[in-house]
Amino acid sequence: MKKALQVSLIILPIVGGAFAGYLYWKKSSDEQASLQRQVPPPPAASPASAPNPPLVPESAKIIESPAPKGPSLPPLGKSDPFMLESIAHLTKNRSSMRLFNDENLITHIVSTIDNLLRQNIPANGLPVDVPEGGFMVRDQAGVLSIDPANSARYAPYMRLVDAVDAKAVVSLYLEAYPLLQEAYEQLGHPGQYFNARLLAVLDDLIKAPEISPPIPLVQRHVLYQFSDDDLENRSAGQKMMIRLGLSNERKLKAKLEAIRSELMRHLQHDETRTGQAPPPTSPAAPALRP
């Protein structure tokens, strides 16, 4: 039986070899799989669907065009082999490709990253498979909390976090950016920069709170939630970081900080200072133009 869905992102080398573990809390694998089958694919997200205004960098960013390093990029609709091969090279571990879904990979990556600033991530169209086993909860006299042993389920993905190099990640990101931008616009963001959204997501993940166990939970229906309303109302990305476990969270933050620092080396400030694309009549360059 195919493993039931609990995770929206595990490792996305496109932003660091390194997102892991947005958990769809569940009683059992079968219950969560059944629940997923009953939910139709959600429409493209709009600004009104976000519980909080999206984080926007202080200014739009422009990147200089690097010299071509190889053959031209494939069309977006035929880019899966290119991305899978690039990720395999990045991670130096071809067997890791079993973790990735191999259809519409770039679109699924962009869609999931876009939703990390919202409170929930749609269960359909995820770029990776799920960790082994079910989500582990500790019950002590009726008080529920995340079982610290749960963090061990992410070990294969955290090994990839260790393996990838920040400079290599950013190099691949720059090379693939035209495809990422095209996918972002097709998902309902014409005239906006995927790069600005990515920088906002990285900033949000890096600011996730670091909480020592126990982390109390409640189970009002099928899915588990944080009992602390402040945690439950945070972005999907920050809740993902907390659920990884403190050690994994700190390791992932360090990698994301290194990637963000490397990416910023390539950026310049856009005159619009809005975090979004300039009007069509503006001569300014796009946020990223490899």
Q: How many CB atoms lie within 10 A of CB 173?
A: 22
262 within 8 A of 167, measured Cβ to Cβ: yes
Q: Which two tokens stand for residue 119?
A: 């409170």
pLDDT value at 34 more than 60 = no
Asked whether residue 65 is domain-assigned, the answer is no
Per the DSSP assignment, residues forming a β-bridge with 217 are: 144, 226
pLDDT of residue 69: 54
Residue 186 — φ and ψ, nearest 5°?
-65, -25
- DSSP type of residue 61: E
Alpha-carbon span 187 to 134, nearest angstrom? 31
Q: Which amino acid is at 75?
A: P
The count of residues in the chain is: 290
pLDDT of residue 258: 96
Question: What would you report as the CA-atom Rg of the chain, rounded to the nearest whole angstrom?
Answer: 19
Q: What's the rounded mean pLDDT across residues 187-204?
A: 95
Asked whether residue 4 is domain-assigned, the answer is no
Q: What percent of the chain has pLDDT over 70?
A: 64
pLDDT value at 137 more than 90 = yes
pLDDT value at 236 more than 50 = yes
249 within 8 A of 256, measured Cβ to Cβ: no
Asked whether residue 50 is domain-assigned, the answer is no
Asked whether residue 287 is domain-assigned, the answer is no
Asked whether residue 115 is domain-assigned, the answer is yes
117 within 8 A of 7, measured Cβ to Cβ: no
Q: What's the rounded mean pLDDT across residues 209-237?
A: 93
Asked whether residue 274 is domain-assigned, the answer is no
Number of domains in the chain: 1
pLDDT of residue 260: 95
Rounded to a whole number, what is the largest CA-CA distance in the chain? 65
Alpha-carbon span 172 to 180, nearest angstrom? 11
Alpha-carbon span 258 to 252, nearest angstrom? 10
207 within 8 A of 238, measured Cβ to Cβ: yes
Q: What's the rounded mean pLDDT across residues 264-285?
A: 46
Asked whether residue 111 is domain-assigned, the answer is yes
Closest CA to 215 of 227, 203, 233: 227
pLDDT value at 259 more than 70 = yes
Helix or strand run (H / E) with residue 160: helix 155-163
127 within 8 A of 108, measured Cβ to Cβ: yes
Closest CA to 45 of 100, 119, 104: 119
Residue-range definition of the domain harbouring residue 180: 13-39+70-269
Alpha-carbon span 66 to 288, nearest angstrom? 11
Q: What's the rounded mean pLDDT across residues 105-130?
A: 83
Top pLDDT among 241 and 50 is at 241
Asked whether residue 59 is domain-assigned, the answer is no
pLDDT value at 228 more than 70 = yes
